Amino acid sequence: MTARHPARKPRSPQRGPATATGATRRASGIREPGVGPSERLQKVLAAVGLGSRRDMEDFIRAGRIQVNGAMATLGMRVGARDRVLLDGREIRQAPGAVPRVLLYHKPEGEIVSRDDPEGRPSVFDRLPRLAGARWLNIGRLDFNTSGLLLFTTSGELAHRFAHPSFEFDREYAVRTRGELSKEEAAQLQRGVELDDGSARVEALAAAGGEGANRWYRVVLREGRNRVVRRLFEAVGHPVSRLIRVRFGPLSLPPRLRRGQSRELLPAEMTALLHAIGATLPPAVNRRPDRPAPSEKPGPRRRSSSAR
């Protein structure tokens, strides 16, 4: 008796060309579906301290970013397994990394820039060194203004603090030439028309002084260039000294000398992120409370053209 073989199943019709392999996807910059969570590329780059989201978008447009061997595009999403390069150098993603914040007591005579054609002293010369990240300034103070200047390793945090939509107020100690009249004080609170639009102070209080010099405490909710000086000049009282004493929920520590910095402790970071409505990565709970690095100012790096 001849053995009977099972009937062969008919071949299914071809469904088009095979899909790209994992290697092909990686080479083309296409993310494989279902490979962990992902975030927008510019957000990831900002989170590791390379700059603000806007800065990262400019980098992407300029063709400086590659993902898995392909040129990055705006809106692209990346995950922990994706290889991201900036100018050919790999960027290590740090999921759950705790942002760091530094309080710096800026003295007069320093510029808030890493590159100054005039070679003037920079605030960045005194900051503690970082491995694998860099300090981002949150807002600015002009060359002749002293006081509280904030730095962070997180582009997201810098964006949240500095963006006008979040309306973090700034408090200043202002020394003027001459005493404000009641009408001049009221005018500052009603609003003054400047060359770049109207501006006003949220709060104004006399803080002493003698002779021609008078001190005031002033609160604003914006950080336009030299806005405090321009407001007082508009009512006839030039500012002879300006010190920022608070930015949002952070105040200038009374024992922090000019040119010194202090990093927030983990417990302080928790309180800060809660106060500004930001999310705290779980990793912060694993970092013990410990003193920040020495508050001694870092060595001053002088340019050959510094004056």
Rounded distance between C-alpha atoms, residue 164 and residue 166, angstroms: 5
Collapsing DSSP states into helix, strand and coil, what is residue 39?
strand
User: Do 169 and 221 form a contact (C-beta atoms < 8 A)?
Assistant: yes
Token pair, residue 265, equals 């402790």
Q: Which residue has the tokens 């520590």?
A: 253
- 85 CB-contact burial (10 Å; exposed 0-12 / middle 13-18 / buried 19+): middle
**Whether 142 is catalytic:** yes
Tokens of 28: 């083309």
Partners of residue 215 on adjacent β-strands: 175
Q: Please give the Cα distance from 168 to 302 (Å, whole number).
A: 34
Q: With CA atoms as reference, report the closest residue to 67 among 59, 47, 155.
A: 59
Cross-strand bridge partners of residue 111: 122
Q: What is the DSSP letter of 282?
A: G
Contact between 202 and 215 under an 8 Å Cβ cutoff? The reply is no
Q: Which of 115, 142, 196, 289 is catalytic?
A: 142
Q: Is 134 helix (H, G, I), strand (E, B) or coil?
A: coil
Give the list of residues 6+ apart from residue 145 with CB closer than 8 angstroms, or none: 106, 108, 242, 243, 244
Query: Of 34, 39, 11, nearest to 22 (Cα)?
Result: 34
Q: How many residues does the chain have?
A: 307
Which residues form the catalytic set?
Answer: 142
